[in-house]
Structure 1
Amino acid sequence: MIRLLHTADWHLGAALQGWSREAEHRAALAQLVALAKARDVDAVIVAGDIFDSLNPSAEAQRLLYDTLSDLRAACPRAAIALLAGNHDPAGRLEAPRALFEMAGVRSVGVVARRDGAVDPERHVLPIRDVSGAIGAYLLALPYPRAADLPVAGEDVVGSSVVWGVRALYREAVAAARAQIGGAPLVLTGHLHVAGGLESEGAERRILVGGEHAAPPDIFPADAAYVALGHLHRPQSVGRDTIRYSGALLPMSKAEIAYRHGVTLVEIDAAGKATAEHVPLERSVPHLRLPVAGALALADVEPALAALALDPRTPDAARPFVHLTVRVEGPAAGLKSEIDAICEKYPIRLVSLAVERPRASDAPAALPLRLAERQPVDLFREAFEATHCAAPSEEHLRFFGQLAEED
């Protein structure tokens, strides 16, 4: 029996509206390490987007190295694999390769080739059970960059990018099989697989050429398990053994309801895999106020007071709040009013959405030519469409002054 821990999308160094996530990351990664130790895993796979940017801060890099050190101490015999995602600086994951390998960490930033073919020495890693016997092999492939893909011929039907990704996996699996025979094979991938549910505003559509999703059948049917990264929602795609572990933390308002965590996978001697999603506890609450709909401005402060938060809460532990406010007329000064209210409470306001009444369903008047319209009438209509209220006399006076200057 082989047991592995599949995780991805750490996004170390990420911030929310300037607020650091380091305390959250440290708490989540400490749980990950504790889980790996408690379940005595044989391998840990980090399937890309380890960092949030191509130029990670010193603090983000230090957190990665601290976590790898903790993992190695907790699981002395486990294989550890780091795969570059689209957010990651592939070169920075490749550069310390010799040091990583001294610690038993396989770091793969790019597709390595030897004599023009995918190099199995770089991409195939044995996974040993508690007795030391090899129970499975890992084929570790990073985010497929354009330079990693075979060039499609003119006779290719459909997306040349999807064709290239399929060809890359076909070639890599063949190279692995030539080395390991019919042993259980675990694959990695950092890409969007068709059928996977995206998080609005959080994930980039990453395959080149405008084609952002590859079909799940690019992965061979005899693969024991496919450890995916990129999509932040924990989910299986195509079949139970093709899986996104999901992110460790909510990366946007759209992800507040997700059960963020990691995936534990067991592979038996016959190569059959079973996956278990293990949620991680959030060290910092992420709140949407209200949970649905919008609050009137007068209800914002009572809603914050109802949270009954300890005013002594340290900055790094204060909840992140996404606030939605309903306004009937002009919203000038609304942000200042909201900021003044929020400053009274131990929270971190990270987004403010404004909802307005829907426009009238009355039939639109027949359009007039621009030459038949007066500028002040156009101003009135634009103001009402934006603020759902008529402009005041002062607004009209200022508009008149601007019109005269022209």
Structure 2
Amino acid sequence: MALKILHTADWHIGQSLNGWSRTYEHQQFFNELEELIDAHEVDALVVAGDVFDNQNPSAEASQMLYEALARFHDKRPHLVTVLTAGNHDPAGRVEAPGVLLQKIGVQAVGMVRRQDGSLDLSHHLVPLKTSDGEVKAYALALPFPRTSDLPGLSFSTTVEGSPVVRAVAELYEAAVSQVRAAIGDLPLIATGHLHVAGGLESEGAERRILIGGEHAMPWEQFPDDLAYVALGHLHKPQKVGKETIRYSGSPFPLSVTEQHYKHGVNLLSFSDAGVLSIERLGLHRPVAFHRLKGDGGLLLEELVPELEALGLDSALPVEQQPFVHVDLRPQVSASGLKAEVDQILAQYPVRSAGVSVLRPQTQAPISAEAESLIRLSEVQPDELFKSAFERVHGIEPDAKHLDCFYRAIAEAEVE
């Protein structure tokens, strides 16, 4: 009997987009995930971090998670769920209901636990069984590695390379070596919530981790005898380095940069001989997401025809109305463009996902190497602020924003 495992990640329960709740989309995602678990006779569900969107999830977000996990268990009573914390998650709160979650087959791992200097396998090693009770593989459940999880972390200048990447690689190497001594040759799946070198980021959607700016771990650092590495953090579904190291991606667009992604989950199947096959299962998009940008950005007068062409349904309840992100080209009264766009969008059954002003490239791009040589002392603080503000919001800061910035500078100087 084959062992079937679903790999998913980056749920970000509790997320809002431009002030709009994503509750309906999460509910629809969990409904579809439950159907996939049933239809494909799934034996194990692996969630590779960022279960919640922030460190202080609401009661509604927590309730949504627990209800979904209970439903999955009701659908497949022998289902094992491996739930690990990401950099967005409150590690302690992920683990807090652990005793109760284990009653429905959920192993929640928020932090790295050790016993007598070695990894606590009762916490991190999870047997994965088929419906007849036979253990066919194991999961090595490792969460996002925080500084306290890396006792070997050393910033010695005598060793080349990133000390953080080295410490994380050593964590995986030691863990796999310890696990192998306990399970023999059975297939081993490891989780990871980190940025693996070569993975494509979603601009503005993911924080660069690991720690201290050293965020990209080479895929070659994962031990060769791992059957599969179930990754989370990057929202674009992708494989990195080889077929068996994969990000499953987010379940639906969490930002405008994810609007064109093909969201889904990864279905792993281990045959009786332990041979792994991987299938990508697409997810339906609960709410439409449009990016209106024309050819290099819209003029304000072009926005209404673009909206009319969408064929919008005015009968949709608010939580099902499409998201619309508008890209504009620079034009007169740039400081008031966002307000004008919001006024137009308010007349249609859509929800604004943001407005960007596309600036033409006025000079040759600066190489990353040349840019790194620019001294911070040669750049005024307000120029850095203006540049960062425009990059994030698509418009220049107005007098109100600059006033707040200068007041913050003054307060910092006083302290």
Distance 1:41 1:198 in 2: 29
Amino acid at match of 2:264: G
Distance 2:338 2:245 in 1: 44
In structure 1, the partner of 2:256 is: 253
The change in CA–CA distance for 1:107 and 1:214 in structure 2 (over 3 A counts) is same
Cα contact 1:224–1:272 (8 A) shared by 2:
no
Could you give the per-residue CA deviations for residues 59-95 of structure 1, whole angstroms, max 9, x where no partner exists?
Answer: 1101101110111011111111100000000000111
The change in CA–CA distance for 1:253 and 1:173 in structure 2 (over 3 A counts) is same
Q: With structure 2 as the length reference, what TM-score do the two structures score?
A: 0.84
What's the offset of the Cα at 1:284?
A: 0.5
Q: Give the SS at the match of 2:265.
A: strand
2:215 to 209, 212, 217: 212
Could you give the per-residue CA deviations for residues 199-223 of structure 1, whole angstroms, max 9, x where no partner exists?
Answer: 1110111111221010112221111
Could you give the per-residue CA deviations for residues 13-63 of structure 1, whole angstroms, max 9, x where no partner exists?
Answer: 000011000000110111011101100011000010000000001111011
Aligned-pair Cα RMSD in Å: 1.8
Point out 4+ residue stretches in structure 1 off by more than 4 angstroms: 152-155, 356-361
Could you give the per-residue CA deviations for residues 300-321 of structure 1, whole angstroms, max 9, x where no partner exists?
Answer: 1111112121222210011110
Q: Give the SS at the match of 1:187.
A: strand
Distance 1:21 1:341 in 2: 23
Distance 1:4 1:41 in 2: 6
Distance 1:320 1:36 in 2: 29
Q: With structure 1 as the length reference, what TM-score do the two structures score?
A: 0.86
Q: Give the SS at the match of 1:87.
A: coil
Task: Specify the structure having the higher radius of gyration (Cα).
Answer: 1
Q: Give the SS at the match of 2:244.
A: strand
> Any gaps of 5 or more consecutive residues in structure 2?
365-394, 397-415
Distance 2:360 2:190 in 1: 50
What's the offset of the Cα at 1:132?
A: 1.4
What's the offset of the Cα at 1:183?
A: 1.1
In structure 2, the partner of 1:167 is: 170
What is the aligned-residue identity percentage? 50
What's the offset of the Cα at 1:268?
A: 2.2
What's the offset of the Cα at 1:293?
A: 2.2
1:138 and 2:139 matched:
yes
Q: Give the SS at the match of 2:137.
A: strand
Counterpart mapping for 1:46-195 below 5 A: 46-152=47-153, 155-195=158-198
Cα contact 1:325–1:352 (8 A) shared by 2:
yes
Amino acid at match of 2:64: L
Distance 1:202 1:291 in 2: 23
In structure 1, the partner of 2:205 is: 202
Distance 1:166 1:335 in 2: 46
Counterpart mapping for 1:306-345 below 5 A: 306-345=309-348
What's the offset of the Cα at 1:276?
A: 1.3
2:276 to 240, 253, 273: 273
What's the offset of the Cα at 1:295?
A: 1.4
In structure 1, the partner of 2:232 is: 229
What's the offset of the Cα at 1:356?
A: 5.2
Q: Give the SS at the match of 1:295.
A: coil
Cα contact 2:299–2:331 (8 A) shared by 1:
no
> Any gaps of 5 or more consecutive residues in structure 1?
362-385, 388-406
Amino acid at match of 1:213: A
